[in-house]
Amino acid sequence: MLSGEDRFNAWFEALEARHLSLLTFAEVRRGLQALSSLYVERRKRLVAGAALEGSGKRAAFALFYAPLHFLLVRAIARALRAAEPPPRIIADIGCGTGAAGAAWALEAGVGCRIAGVDRSGWAVEEARWNYRVLGVSGRAFRGDVARAALPGKGGGILAAFTVNELQEDARAHLLQGLLAAARGGARVLVLEPIAGRAVPWWDSWSDAFRTAGGRDDRWRVPVDPPERLRLLDRAAGLDHRELTARSLWLRP
């Protein structure tokens, strides 16, 4: 049986073969630069789905950001002991390509299933492929992120870099659903960028989580990514030797 690190490396090699068979390294680099610009300078366009417009940005998201999200969520899940005891199911809200939810599910072990939901049909197909390659038991489907079905007792809920892309009314509806699920026995993990200006709604969510007995954390996680990922990072003028995020965590 493969170790967690071997499984990650094998998955990344499969990602390389999948996406660099369709686009050149230079095309993916340009897509990564465009995607990075969206995240840093034009975040309002994310609500309209601009991050996944065009093959270059999709490939960059799948080959670059998905592995980084995997490494980040795995580190945070370990630090929070989010897989103790193992959740029976993890609802990955706004799953994207499924990497973040898969990281938590693999920490939980073979008895954990994952249910991913995303508004992007492309992302859902990519998540299904990633689940298969990583050996995660689960499914992904296209749907309304803010109104997705949430598990109760014994379940986990993940919203990684998703809540900020919702409209205000959808965000408020999701918050009430997450708090209700926690009262029913689910554990909830929300992740967003560490920069405060990127998440102006954070303080109100933090107050709600802490009032319910949860916690608000900041993370700086050093990583040693695969060589191709480091090359992409440097070629795009980026530096992801340390991954950062803020999180809200609530467990029964």
pLDDT of residue 135: 94
pLDDT of residue 201: 95
User: Which residue has tokens 């993940």?
Assistant: 158
Helices (H), the chain: 4-19, 25-41, 55-60, 66-80, 99-108, 121-134, 168-183, 202-211, 227-235
User: φ, ψ for residue 89 (rounded to 5)?
Assistant: -150, 145
pLDDT of residue 138: 92
d(CA 67, CA 60): 11
Angle (CA) 37-39-44 rounded to 5° is: 105
pLDDT of residue 208: 98
**Sign of the Cα pseudo-torsion (62, 68, 69, 74, in order):** positive
pLDDT of residue 78: 97
pLDDT of residue 56: 84
Sheet holding 215-222, edge to edge: 137-142, 113-118, 89-93, 155-160, 187-192, 242-250, 215-222
pLDDT of residue 45: 43
Domain 4-250 bears CATH identifier 3.90.320.10: no
Q: Average pLDDT for consecutive 10-residue bins of the chain (252 residues)?
A: 79 94 88 78 45 79 94 98 97 97 95 95 96 96 94 97 93 97 98 86 97 98 92 90 96 90
Cβ-contact 128, 138 below 8 angstroms: no
Exposure of 4 in the CB half-sphere (CA atoms within 13 A)? 14
Residue type, 146: A
First and final CA of the chain: distance in angstroms?
32
Q: What residue ranges do the domains of the chain occupy?
A: 4-250
pLDDT of residue 46: 45
